[in-house]
Chain A
Amino acid sequence: MTDAALFQSIIASLPEIVVVTGACILLILGQFVRKGQEHFLVAASVAVVLIAAFATLLLASEVRPAYSGMFIADRFAVFFKLVFYLATILTFLLSRKYADIEGIGSSEYYVLLLFALFGMMIMASATDLLSIYVGLELMVLCTYVLTGFLRRERRSNEAALKYVILGAVSTGIFLYGVSLIYGLTGTTQLDAMAQAVTGDPLDPGLLLAVVFIVAGLVFKVGAVPFHMWLPDVYEGAPTTITAFMSVGPKAAGFAVILRVFLNPLVAASDVWIIVAVIAVVTMALGSFVALVQDNFKRLLAYSSIAHAGFAIFGVVAGGQNGIASVMLYLLIYAFMNLGIFGAVIMMRNGDFSGEVINDYAGFAKSHPGLALLMLIYLFSLAGIPPTAGFFAKFYVLVALVERGFVLLAVIAVLLSAVAAYFYIRVVMVIYMREPERAFDPALTPMVRATLAFTALGTIGIGLFPAWFLGLAQQSAAGG
């Protein structure tokens, strides 16, 4: 690599460099932060992400391939990075008070989140199976640790262990697929792979390799049959981390899935049938199992499985609209899911966990404003207009029907009617039960800001989707 090419590569990956440098500096500075001054960590972490976001937007004007075809900074990556920044910053804001209550407010917590962000950014930009792997591993290793961050809590430890073991297996499967691809095509670059294969795209060896890669990837988004880890991990992890994982790493998983599926090699094979089946089963399992959950975090875990299923429908649809629909879905999901998790995090105060759905009984009576926000998030998750959640689903359905998959669209809407039941059940508990205790939500200005911002996004994108739709469509085209 020449000096000029290296320089270009560094420019293209400037946001990543900002994040990783910031994380390293924070790691050192964190040692000097005294107890009671943790707000410095939050402010510094947020600043790092904002600088990275600024750099990303600055470089968004053109497509920049970098590091000899391992990496690319294009619009597609920019869109996903913006989702990651959003998820990370909101997680930081939600974490401050929660971390105090749980006693996990050390600097490592914030640094690990930044490293996870770094991993996700690499995933969004990676154009080589190996760089995908590096980003993926960086991200999941951080989330393994963060899941087990409640060191004194048994279920947090259990969740982390479960996550590590299952995650390692799925990574192994992914790597096996990569090695098969390399054996068959002699390359791991996504673009070169397709050119290397001139024969039948339905070659069994190739199909096997693609299936392995898909299996490794759907694990990360929590799709059936690789969803087993998800409810336990979501329940056991600190709630802020659950919120982060349900949005950031999931979106990163989808970024890679879309990148791989954009690849003509994969598009030519009939692997979409497998993906369609995965979508249906994932959504069905998430929706039906969520019906019987009493724990709010578990309910949201299954809801997140169901939403992953719906987004995979967009992957099945493929094409320009299909890809854009998945991207828009993830952006909207980030707003509404961080909103509802923000509400759960806010409820955790003193001895009150706020994890059981019945804990919210009669919440509307004493806190009508906060209850209204929860109502908005929940109806948005259920996909009822005029919230953004409806438009997200609507656009996926448009993409499906456009490709002629009407039956899949019908299945998707029927399952989302099932899913609506458990969201409105929570609304019922909030609004139609009598309160059993006094509520004392941990409302710091940061939490307030997060809730206001996510609610604004949930309603705003629902009412004025045009700009966001255009953004998603442009980004999908630039991929």
Chain B
Amino acid sequence: MGFPLLSLILFTPAAGAAVLMFLRSDDAVRWTALVVAVLDLALSIVLLAGFDTTTHEMQFTETVPWVPALGITYALGVDGISALFVFLTALLGSVSVLASWVAIERKVKAFMVSLLSMQALMLGVFSALDLFLFYVCWEAMLIPMYLIIGVWGGDGRVYAAFKFFLYTLAGSLLFLIGVIALYFHGGETFDILALTAQDLPFRVQSWLFFAFLIAFAVKVPMVPVHTWLPDAHVQAPTAGSIILAGVLLKMGAYGFLRFSLPMLPEASVYFSPLMLALSALAIVYGGLLALAQDDLKKLVAYSSISHMGFVTMGIFALNIRGLEGGILQMFNHGVTTGALFLFVGLIYERTHTRSIADYGGLMKVAPVYTVFLALFTLSSMALPGTNSFVGELLVLSGGFAANLAVGAAAVLGATLGAAYLLGMYRRVALGPASVGARFKIRDVNAREMVAILPLAVFVLWVGLYPKPFLEIIDASVKNLLVEVHGEGSGQ
């Protein structure tokens, strides 16, 4: 065990949150939070730089006994899949701090404390190698998120916060029972790697698969347990939406990748048609819902359901293109949808309306804003040259290989995506400049630019040269396929 880099990444935001509590002025709070978030981002870049892409083994591992009597350890480590999300979390953490700079006017300190504790816990979820630790981080996140939505959200925030809290809690509690059952079936250990190596009877696998499915499906969210998402997204402050869409939704998919597939391989294969069908349903249904929205934030929220459908579809295609596409798409969706929520937040700060009907001709008053909006909109609809194109193409080819009908549904969903996204862009940015007359709109300023640019860089980088990103996940995905299908199938 060398230098505990992962712990450092985890505890930097936690320590930052603790320091914030003793600061008095709002500006000091903002700057400290930003410094902490950027420092964390820098550390996560160090992590990626030191990451060995040739192996699927866990790297940067740390193990400290925690509750030895129950076999609980504080164990951290990353493989290709989690490393990517540690980085994404740190990136969006910094963006969120910038996005809340002026949007949060009241109780700035409490907000930043919640935001940084969120970040620490999310990083914990992605780097935990102990199921108990994973569960603690996964569940503890409800507290800051509940506050972020409920205290700093919009008019319906209390309802949205309750809905978010109870949905997620109910889902996770069954997961907890699954975890405990797995603990006894897997030889009284919470060590994720040891549990992965277990070969459980099919009947046990099936039960556990559904216990896990409920928790992960709520988080992703998959239809029909998605109804908390529009409320939470719409009511949450911008930073909350970015974190929700960018990272929280990924945790559900990450759960499938880390637990369902490797620990319950036979059940995963057996139930994959069901999962593919649910994914296809989410893609089409989410797209149709997005098509009917007038609220900008709701539109992006429903589009998330559709896009996460692509992710779960790629995962449960259970072939290499599907999986790599799904994972890449998780990253892409974090970047792109995070950016779209940021953009909705930016314009909302200026006009205090999110109704698409109130907008039009934004191009003339805020050209820089609309250019970047175009980039992220096109990225969201997977135009070639943007990040989502690479991911969606891989998912589609994996999906078609798995099931023709599901692949066809996904293509339909992609078409719907083009329809609602382009429609949104046309009505907001183009046309006669009705907006300038009613609202005073200024274009993006330097601070906002700092938040936008890194996201834009990743949109184009992944879109034009995805190789480094695919290399990070490649070895782990191949190993995952071996775990699911047995030896010799990692083609």
Q: Which residues of A contact B (CB under 8 A)?
A: 364-365, 368, 375, 379, 384-386, 390, 394-395, 397-398, 401-402, 406, 409-410, 413-414, 416-417, 420-421, 424-425, 427-428, 431-432, 465-466, 469-470, 473
Contacts and interface: CB of A to CB of B under 8 A. Distances in A.
B437 interface: no
A420 B67 contact: no
A466 B69 contact: yes
B69 A390 contact: no
A81 to B, nearest CB: 23
B162 A428 contact: yes
A470 B146 contact: no
Given A432-B157, A466-B65, 10 more contacts: A384-B143, A394-B180, A395-B70, A397-B176, A409-B177, A417-B173, A424-B165, A428-B161, A431-B151, A466-B68
A379 B174 CA distance: 19
Interface stretch (B28-36, B133-141, B454-462): B133-141
Contacts of B371: none
Contacts of A416: 173
B162 A421 contact: yes
A397 B70 contact: no
Contact of A413 (B158, B161, B165, B176): B176
B177 A413 contact: yes
B162 A394 contact: no
Contacts of A424: 146, 162, 165
Question: From DSSP, what is the main secondary structure of chain B's interface residues?
Answer: helix
A328 to B, nearest CB: 11
5 contacts: A413-B173, A420-B169, A432-B150, A466-B65, A469-B67
Contacts of A432: 150-151, 157-158, 161
Residue from the set B162, B177, B181 with the largest chain A CB neighbour count within 10 Å: B177
Contact of B143 (A379, A469, A470, A473): A379
Interface string B120-149: 000000000000000110011011001100
A469 B69 contact: yes
Interface string B452-482: 0000000000000000000000000000000
A473 B110 CA distance: 39
A465 B67 contact: yes
B204 to A, nearest CB: 11
Interface string B383-417: 00000000000000000000000000000000000
Contacts of A413: 173-174, 176-177
A417 B169 contact: yes
B166 interface: yes
Contacts of A365: 107
A406 B177 contact: yes
A470 B69 contact: yes
B111 to A, nearest CB: 12
Contacts of B158: 428, 432
A431 B150 contact: yes
B180 A398 contact: yes
A427 B142 CA distance: 13
A9 to B, nearest CB: 34
Interface string B149-179: 0110000011001100110011001101100
Contact of A386 (B67, B140, B147): B140
Given A368-B110, A414-B170, A466-B69, A397 B161 contact: no
A50 B173 CA distance: 40
A397 B180 contact: yes
B177 A431 contact: no
B439 interface: no
Nearest to B66: A466
A312 B333 CA distance: 46
Given A397-B176, A428-B158, A469-B67, A420 B139 contact: no
B372 interface: no
Nearest to B142: A384
Interface string B63-83: 001111110000000000000
Contacts of B135: 385
A441 B183 CA distance: 46
B124 to A, nearest CB: 10
A71 B181 CA distance: 39
B183 A398 contact: yes
Nearest to B138: A385
Contact of A390 (B139, B147, B184): B139
Contact of B177 (A379, A395, A410, A428): A410
B399 to A, nearest CB: 34
Contacts of B151: 431-432
* 10 interchain residue pairs of minimum CB distance: A413-B173, A385-B136, A466-B67, A401-B180, A417-B170, A385-B140, A432-B150, A385-B139, A386-B140, A409-B177
Given A368-B110, A424-B146, A473-B69, A402 B184 contact: yes
Contacts of A425: 162
Contacts of A395: 70
Nearest to A369: B21
Given A384-B142, A401-B181, A469 B162 contact: no
Contacts of B70: 395, 398, 469
Nearest to A466: B67
A397 B67 CA distance: 16
Contacts of A406: 177, 181
Contacts of B68: 466
Nearest to A399: B180
Contacts of B184: 401-402
Contacts of B165: 420, 424
A421 B164 CA distance: 12
A421 B166 contact: yes
Nearest to A371: B110
Contacts of B174: 410, 413-414
Contacts of A428: 150, 158, 161-162
A176 B139 CA distance: 47
A410 B165 CA distance: 19
B177 A397 contact: yes
A368 B135 CA distance: 28
Contacts of A364: 107, 110
A125 to B, nearest CB: 26
A110 to B, nearest CB: 37
**Best-buried of B146, B174, B180, B184 by chain A (most CB within 10 Å):** B180
A401 B208 CA distance: 13
A323 to B, nearest CB: 14
